[in-house]
Amino acid sequence: MSRKRELTYVKSTNQWCKTINGKRKYFGKGRSKSNEEDYQVALKKYHSFIADLDKNPSLISTTPTAIENEKKAKKNPKKYKYAVNQLSKCVSRWTEYQMSRVTDLEGGVSHSSGITLGRVISLKGYIKPWVDFYGARKQLSKLRPIDLENYRNLQVGLMQEGLISQNTVYQRFASLKNFLNFCWEREIIQNLPRNMKSDLKMGMKRDRPSIKDIFDWKKGEVKKLHLACANHSPAMELWFLLALNCGFLVKEISDLKMNDCLWRKQGWTKVIRERQKTGTPSEHTLWSRTEELWKELCVGRYGTEDICFARKDGQPLCTYKNGFKNESVGTTMKGIIRDTFGGDDHRSIRTLRKTGSSFISARFPLVDSLYLAHKPTSVAQQHYSVANYKILHEALSYMEVDFGIATRLSKRHLRKPAQRSKKKP
């Protein structure tokens, strides 16, 4: 029988970790889960961190490695003065902090300040050009405004030559600003460069959706794709309907729980849940065919926290490995779209969400934000007005007919809705 350990080994990062106050803290690399030597080093670091935390609870936002470095610097200032301010060391400390914000997506745990492991990997890539430009071994305390100006000129020049995109420059500048603010908050640098806001400013280019970016329901493209998905399998038909009916993407479909949709109630059925990405409440009525397939394919117990849909091996539809998404729903949908509309068709399951939003925006102005479950933007929406989903339910009823999913209009919005019990199942 294996001995229970205080720390957990995370295979994707090869590190020993512990969740403290909802935050995952890392305590060092491990060559393997069974390597006792590495585990003991990490355990010692963990106990030291807990002792420091008992003395000063505010250190919960600081990484264990950062605390150790500060201790070493205080004991031997001459030896560690250069290392603490060295750019490569500062970037490593910043990266470790970003790692502490990683949420457990596979377990469904989400935090308002959480990010994915894939985002951490992206941040490493976006900060690397700055490290190469400034010098990994150079002291960050010697940073001057002219350094940022020269770095900006270099990146903008690469963009103008067509070697990198405007969005890439935006991400590199945003990552550098985040890094410099982090260093200032930790007193690694005493002052931020005065030109940081102006020289590290770059807009993100966003193209407005055109008719080529959605499925033209007036020409019957939605109905044609629905038939193709239904011919492929009942599961693909359901993923198609959830993407269109509720605007769900693959991760949102994978995260659905059995108590998000309670159909054993009087009245019509709807999905009520918070969108994990924004924490915004969402409410969508289910079309007749969507509800029928949901009941047929769900694998969890009714009214519980069980996941609704799973793969044949019991795993969620969407998992994460080494920071990258692992799922087949989106890939299969792309294949069906290309088989239906041509091999060069660029549209995907996200296009169904865009199509639904475009339909609602055209016929029911300002209701598309409810369909997309976007955060309220106005002061009235944020602090005063209660969202009225009845108009969205009406829009979904018309969408069901206009998209060819049903032959007759079901005015669900005029009926009494199903009541949700406030008691936990």
User: Average pLDDT for residues 59-72, to the nearest whole number?
Assistant: 76
- Widest CA span of the chain, in angstroms? 80
User: Could you give all domains of the chain from N- to C-terminal order, each with its CATH number?
Assistant: 98-199 (no CATH), 211-414 (1.10.443.10)
Evaluate if residue 77 carries a pLDDT over 70.
Answer: no
Nearest one of 109, 104, 193, 123 to 151, comparing CA atoms: 193
Which tens digit of pLDDT belongs to each residue from 375-387?
A: 888 888 787 888 8
> CA–CA separation, 297 vs 286, rounded Å?
15
What is the average pLDDT value for the chain, to the nearest integer? 86
Which tens digit of pLDDT belongs to each residue from 156-182?
A: 999 999 999 999 999 999 999 999 999
> CA–CA separation, 316 vs 334, rounded Å?
20
Which tens digit of pLDDT belongs to each residue from 317-346?
A: 988 766 567 788 999 999 999 999 999 999
What is the reported pLDDT for 318? 87
Point out the least confidently predicted range of 69-83, 208-222, 231-245, 322-336. 69-83
pLDDT bracket for residue 82 (50, 70, 90): low
> CA–CA separation, 121 vs 133, rounded Å?
20
Evaluate if residue 78 carries a pLDDT over 70.
Answer: no
What is the reported pLDDT for 174? 96
pLDDT bracket for residue 148 (50, 70, 90): very high
Whole-angstrom CA distances from 217 to 231, 236, 244, 316, 352 are: 19, 19, 12, 31, 11
CA atoms lying within 13 Å on the CB side of residue 50: 13
Mapping DSSP to helix (H, G, I), strand (E, B) and coil, where does residue 192 land?
coil
pLDDT bracket for residue 244 (50, 70, 90): very high
Which tens digit of pLDDT belongs to each residue from 214-233?
A: 999 999 999 999 999 999 99
